[in-house]
Structures are given as C-alpha cells and as structure tokens.
Amino acid sequence: MLRYISAALLAAALVDCMGHVWSGHSVVATADTRANPGAPGARFVARWGGSQRAARSRNHWYIPLVGTTAHAANGVRLQTLDGVLIDPFQRPSGTKAVVLTFVSVDCPISNRYAPELRRLYDRFASQGVLFRLIYPNPAESTDAIRRHLKEYGYRGQALRDPRHELVKIANATVTPEAAVYATSGELVYRGRIDDRYVNPGLQRAQPTRRDLEDALSAMLDGKPVPRARAPAVGCFISDFLR
Amino acid sequence: MTVEGRTRLALQAISWVVLTSAASACVTSAQGVPTFNKDVAPIVFARCGACHHPGGPAPFSLLTYGESRRRATLMAQVTKSRFMPPWKASPGSGPFVGQNPLTADEIDLIQRWSSSGAPEGDPHDLPRVPQFRETWQLGTPDLIVGPSQPFTLQAGGTDVFRIFVIPVPTSTARFVRGLEFLPGNPKVVHHANIRLDRTDTSRRYDDADPAPGYEGLIAHSATYPDGHFLGWTPGQIAPLLPKGMAWRLDPGTDFVVEIHMQPSGKPETVAPSIGIYFGSDPPERTPVMLRLGRQSIDIAPGDPSYTITDSFVLPVDVEVQAVQPHAHQRAITISGVATLPDGTTRTLIEIGEWDFRWQHVYRYVAPVTLPKDTTLAMRYTFDNSATNPRNPVLPPRRVFWGQRSADEMGDLWIQVLTRDSSDRRTLVDRFRPKVLAEDVIGYERVIQSDPNSVALHDDVAQIYLELGRADEAATHFATSAKLKPESAATHFNLGTSLAVSGRVDEAMTELRRALTIQPDYARAHNNLGGLLLQRGRTNEALDHIREAVRLEPANIEAHTNLAATHAVLGQFNLAVEAIETALRLNPTESVASLLRLRLDAYRRGVPPAP
C-alpha cells in the first residue's frame, strides 16, 4: 500500500492536475489529498518563500491560483452583497496575505468563531493581511448575510459563492474554514481557525493550537507555516448545494 | 427434553428470524436509496423534532426537507458517533423515561441517505409534520416568574454558568405539582439547575453582583424541595407530579436558578422564565434525595485515571424514582450500582463517556425496588491529563472539589420513596449526618482558597452545629466574628455555638458583645437569659428573657425560657401562662409535644431540670 508519496511523484501529479507548474518552492505546499486521493499519509511541508517574488509582480491585478487549472483560477468572480462581480483574490498593493474564511449564517460552530475572527482581523489587518468572508450557502439571502455581518460584528468584505467556484479552488469542506493565500498565489494554509472543536460534540474549554493565527504570524515573520493543513470541524459545505 | 436442548432450539429459531429480516432489509436497500420523505422524515420528526424545530432549544430546525438536506452529512456524522440524539446512559442501565436511542438500522439508513445525495423522494410519502409550539408544554402555568432584568451574555469565550435568584410572590404556602423552565434564548441556554432558598443567603449573593444574577457558589441553604429534582435540559420536561406528591412552597422562598450558557458568537440577551403549576392537595408522600459522592477530590496534574467511590447502606426499603449524576469536565466514567442483601446487583446508572453538557435527570420507567440493607454505591473516574480534550486547564494543574467549572465534583443524586413517613424519618436520620460530613469536607476545601468569606464560615459552622461538632462550629464562627467584628450576628452565632459546646462564660461574653452592638437583639437576650438561668442568676435571666419576649413576641423559645424562669422562681401560674402563649404560636408538632410535657409539669408544680 502506498503510505508516503515521494516528492517526485507528487510534483508530477501536480503538473498533471494544474496544467502549469509553479516555481519549486510551492510545489510541495500545494499537494493535497484531493489531487492525490490515494495518499492518506502524505505530509505537507510548506516552505515560505513567495513574498519576495510576489513583491516584484505587484502590478499584477489578479493573483494566479494554485491547486486548479489556470483557466478556473483566473476566471472566478464572486458577487459582493451589492451584486458586483469581483475576483476574490484581488488585493491592494502591499498586501502580504489574503485570508478567505468560509462561513454560514446559521451554522452554530461557524458563528461561535465570530469573536475570534474579529480578534484576528484586529491583529493582522493593519499588517497587510486582507480578510474576506465567503458565504457558500446559496439559500442565504443577501439580506440575511448583511444582518449576519452586523449582528456578529464581522470585519472584512463578504462575497457569495453560491456555485462553490471558490470552494472548489480552495478545497474548503466546512464552515468555518480558512484558506490563506500568499501573494504568490500559493495556498499556504487551509483548515480550522483553531482546535477548539475536536468534533461537533466535543469542544475544548480553550484551544491548544491556533492554526490560522500561527500561519499568519509565520508568514509575516517570513518563516515557514508550522502546519499547512488542519482539518476543520463544522457544517459541511457540500450539503449546501444538494 | 432438557433445558439445554430447549434453549438451543430457541436460539436457532431466533437466529433464523434475524437472518430473514436482514435479508429483507437488503432487498429494501437494493430497491432504492432511502429518501427524506419516506425514510428519514419519520425518524427526524419523532426523534429530533422536539428540539430541532423553529425556535426550539436546538440551534437549527430539521423539520423540512431543505433544512435536513443541508445538514445531511452532519446528521450522518453525529448520529453515527451517537452525539445525537443526546443520551449518555449506556443501555445496561434503566430503562429510563425518554431512553430511546436510534437503532443501528436507523443510523445506517441516515448514512445511506446522506451518502447517496440526500434525495427528497415522493411528496406523498411525507408523514404529517408535527407541530411544536414554543410555549408551555405542561399547559398555562398558575404563576410565571423570572429574573427582574434580562442578562446579556458576551459574544465569545467559554461557557458561562450564572446563578439567578428569583423571588416567588406568594403570601401563603402553596403546593407545587410541577415547574417548567423556558430558556428565553434557547440558542445559548444549555441547561438549568433549580434550587429553593428559604433564607436570604442567595439573595445577598445576587445583590453583591451589579449585573443580573451572580457567578459563583450555590449557597448551602439553596436545596432541592423536599426530595424533588428541579432542572431543565433541552428536550427534557419533568411531568407534573401525581396527586399527593406535591411539594410545599413557602412564602419568602427564592428560586435559585443556575443557567449554563454557551456564547453564540454575538452578544445575546437571556431572559428565562419559570412556570409554576399548583395543586390543592398537600403532600402525602415525600421522597428523599440521597446523595453519594466525595468532596475530598484531589487530583494530581496529569493523572489520567483518578477514582472516587462512595456507598450507603439503606436502613429501610425504598423505591428509586430517578437518579442524576453530576460532575464537571474531567469526569470520564460514571457508575451507580445497588447491591441487594442477597448479593444480586442492579445497575442504577452507567455512563461510559461523561459529558458535562448533558446533565439529565434519569427517571426510571418503573421505580427500582430495593430492600433494606441494600448497598448503594457510586464510582466515578476522572482524567486530568493533557490528552483529555475536555480538561479545562492546560497544562493540567492539581484539582480539588469545588462548584466552579474549573474545579471538579462527583455526585450521584438518588431520589427514593419510602413505605411510610416513619421509614422516611429513619432514612433521613441515618443519611443526613453522612451527607453533612461530606459537605464540611467541601467547605473546608473552599475555605482554604477563600479564607476571608464570612458566608462560607457561617455556612460550615451551621453544618458543624447540626452534626453536634460545636467546637468546630465555634472555631468558624470565631473567624466570622474576627472578619466582621462590627456585626452583632457574628458575635451572637459565636456565643450560641460556645454555649452549645459548654463554654458558658465565653458564650456570655460574646452574647453581651452582640447586645452592645445591637441592644434590641431579641435572640441574644433570650440566649443570654437562658445561660444566666443555668448559672442560677435567675433575676438577671428574667430581665433578659422578658426583654426578648417584649422585642419579639412571636419567639416561641423566649416564651419557653420565660416559663422556665418563672418555674425556677416558683411562679408556676406565670410559667403555665407562658407555655400556653408559646403553644398558641403554631409550633411544629415536635416542639408542641415538648411544650405540652412542660405544661403538664408546671401545672403539677415540678420545676424544670437544671
């Protein structure tokens, strides 16, 4: 049985899957169980190194994407609450990371993370981290989302993803789940905000790992992200589209 | 035919039946994937709907196809792990009211429905959707009470336990057949414990906290009413008590409602209410609430398997009505077992994976009959290691008994009925010293970490007095008097406990101190008078006791002391008169019978024993 996948094999799989290759530093980080479903034991070693490279291409308005085809990556446009289509990766110059957090209006676990997301926003937004909230449930109306943003005191722009275009790109599975992209387009972290929930019925009094915060801190310090993937607990996004 | 042979035949027959039904189940599944309307809705309506309906105590509704469909994977996940429907007791205990876990077939059906795309199915298959009203399930209450102001729960952070003290506006004693708790904001209210306080202790705790309610300890004076459980967990409503089982609610009583709340992510307003249902008949049978458990809990950091045990031998026959285990976050296994005199055992309750969020009262479908000399035993284990995800303090620290959620508790409450009131008396007399002795261990523990609380010293001293340990009572009352020397009550308490422990001179000094601070302190006059009478200083005694009667004409003890003083002075007419006055003040039956004995003696000119 294939337990560990060699780096060479992994790189090959990614080339097949994506249609183009990113410079070597990001190859391993973009490995994903979705791309390699037969590799349950695959370990992801994300190496940070994209920010300097990305800084040189600051005039690029759209960040090319990793983990999908170039076509889908460049084509995705999501609606703001005002009905304007925008690229979810669009960012002002000087941005160091883009955090896309998948949330939903009536998912209790997702909602309980609102204060923590606000805390992270307050800590990192001023340091060049751009936060967006992605609402993947097509049944949630614009009005309901507006009310939700206000009641829970969310910060950051809200986008709707009713056809799960971004869900597929980021491979998000539940709400709440965060995907952190470097300016290079590399998916640097995807998963839970922290480990407070072990499963829907088991919650710690306090988290013992703050994965999203640790990832952002590491990025801003120019260090490798401690853990590139961490499974999230919450409401399944795939159910929204059934 | 031998018994063995017959058994084997029966087993064969059973296995054949099982095989047949399994085969037919396969045929069904082969015919098509389960649909919501035909297969899933009947389960959801019967087993989930009571909480998962619009406005219900669960965080979302599942009553419509759309609502269930967009939780299909979650439903499959949490039913498979048996997190839902919530039921912690293992199948070996009970049977309990409401014990109705999903069958393996039902769980499998939800799995298959979810994994095959959660189809809706034929609309004609959908059973009638049940109606759930967000109102009183037991009918319109006779009286509705609640906190005077709503409480605002913060948006984030960990669970909040807050105690609300709610006065009951009744001017006469009433008989209560039931209570219903409406959480007000079911999204965040997880469960409620309700107690009664006939003293003003809880009220004082509440007043000391500027926001509605208070955080901290449930006062020792806040108890379950005469052997009845009160409380609420989602989906659990205690039925109205049968005639003759009501409990007495006296004027001036407060409800003490501890509410466990889980922040939702936004600030929430919480305004619970309690509906009270009265009956006209006084109680004929009153249950007894037994409690097993340890307050000597002391768990080393990292200890993955700390065990407490406790037991009690029943002095009379009983019927067990219900049990409620209570523990905090580190408890793992819960077990309560009855061992009958013939050596057979009955599992009262067994929980393999304790979850402090589901503090059910487990009511037996049929009471468990246990004869005299049955041993009731409990055994709980706790995991204070860092690998226990429920451990609220990391890295783990040494943990003691305490009511705060970061402390630990381990109690098994057992509600029993005796054959008659005489058996009840026997049981209470045997049980109460045991539970009070455990209580003082807990108090001494809490006092170690909070040594300057007058309320704690006063509470534990009262318990020591009841246990006949007057010296220890005096020690704690002395601390209260030292902490609050300006309070006449602290000196009165100290003086009274010193008197009980036979230290009369010290007692008189303290009672005089109380009277210096508060000259119109009737009970201090009365107790000082009683001591002076003992010392043969009859005239001084008469002055103080007369003053006590003048200040508090309804004080039965003062009239009794007055009678004794007159009798010592040979004034038997006045003694008889004082006893007659005391008897007119509605003493309890036990006091009244004592007074009648005195009356008889004084009428015959016999003075009281010195």
> What is the number of other CB atoms lying within 10 angstroms of the CB of residue A118?
19
Q: How far apart are CA B362 and CA B349, in angstroms?
A: 8
Interface contact A92, partner B, CB < 8 A: no
Two tokens at B260? 């466990």
Q: In the predicted model, what is the mean pLDDT of residues B345-357?
A: 94
State how far residue A105 is from chain B, nearest Cα, in angstroms: 11
pLDDT at residue A28 greater than cutoff 90: no
Using the beta-carbon criterion (under 8 Å), do A114 and B156 form an inter-chain contact?
yes
Confidence at B31, pLDDT banded by 50, 70, 90: low
Q: How confident is the model at residue B84 (pLDDT cuts 50, 70, 90)?
A: very high
Quick one: pLDDT at residue A205?
A: 85
Confidence of residue B281 (pLDDT cuts 50, 70, 90): confident
Q: What is the pLDDT of residues B364-375, one digit of tens each?
A: 999 999 999 999
Closest residue in B to A151 (Cα) is B266
Q: Is the pLDDT of residue A9 over 70?
A: no
pLDDT (0 to 100) of residue A74: 57
User: Cβ of A153 and B266 within 8 Å?
Assistant: yes
Residue B131 pLDDT > 60: yes
Higher pLDDT: A3 or A203? It is A203
Q: What would the mean pLDDT of A56-77 be, rounded to a whole number?
A: 44
* Position B394 pLDDT exceeds 50: yes
Distance CA B468, CA B486 (A): 28
Locate the chain B residue with the closest alpha carbon to A234: B74
B264, B266, B389: residue with CB nearest A198: B389
Give the span between the Cα atoms of B553 and B532, in whole angstroms: 21
Q: Say what the pLDDT of residue B610 is.
A: 58
Which tops the pLDDT comparison, A226 or A60?
A226
| Chain B contact for A139 (CB, 8 A cutoff) | yes
The predicted-structure confidence for B97-110, as pLDDT tens digits, reads as follows: 988 889 999 999 99
Q: How confident is the model at residue B10 (pLDDT cuts 50, 70, 90)?
A: very low
Range with lowest mean pLDDT among A178-182, B19-23, B27-31, B189-193: B19-23
**Rounded to whole angstroms, how far apart are CA atoms B209 and B216?**
10
> Per CATH, which fold does A59-241 belong to?
Glutaredoxin (3.40.30)
What stretch of H or E contains B350? strand B345-351
The reported pLDDT for the residue numbered A157 is 96
Mean pLDDT of the residues in chain B: 90
Quick check: B265 and A200 CB within 8 A?
Answer: no
Q: How many CB atoms neighbour CB A233 within 10 A?
A: 21
Output the six-digit token pair for B143. 């009286």
Question: In the predicted model, is pLDDT for residue B226 greater than 50?
Answer: yes
Q: Tens of pLDDT along A98-119?
A: 999 999 999 999 999 999 999 9
Least confident among A136-140, B71-75, B170-174 = B170-174
Report CB contact under 8 Å: A206, B392.
yes
Question: Is residue B25 scored above 90 in pLDDT?
Answer: no
| pLDDT value of residue A209 | 95
Structure tokens at B18: 């099982």
Quote the minimal CA–CA distance from B220 to chain A in Å. Answer: 27
Q: Is A106 on the interface with B (CB under 8 A)?
A: yes
Chain B positions contacting chain A at CB under 8 Å are 59-60, 66, 69-74, 77-78, 81, 83-84, 117-118, 155-159, 187, 262-266, 329, 355, 389-394
Contacts of A113 in chain B (CB under 8 A): 265
Judged against a pLDDT cut of 90, whether residue B586 lies above it is answered with: no
Interchain CB distance below 8 Å, B83 and A108 = no
Q: B196 has which bridge partners?
A: B223, B255
**pLDDT tops 60 at residue A37:** no
Query: Which residue type does A145 have?
Result: I
Cβ contact A64:A91 at 8 Å: no
Check whether B203 has a pLDDT greater than 50: yes
CA distance B447 to B439: 12
State whether B81 and A114 contact (CB < 8 Å): no
Peptide bond into A176 cis (omega under 30): yes
Spatial separation of the C-alpha atoms in residues B182 and B585, rounded to whole Å: 40
pLDDT, mean of residues B1-14: 36
DSSP structure string for B153-219: EPSSSS-EEEEEEEE---SS-EEEEEEEEE-SSTTTEEEEEEEEESSSHHHHHHHTSSSSSB-SPPP
Pick the residue from chain A with its C-alpha nearest to B71: A239
Query: Residue A213 — very low, low, confident or very high, per pLDDT cuts 50/70/90?
Result: very high
Give this complex's ipTM. Answer: 0.79
What average pLDDT does range A215-240 have in this prediction? 95
Nearest to A194 by CA among A167, A170, A176: A176
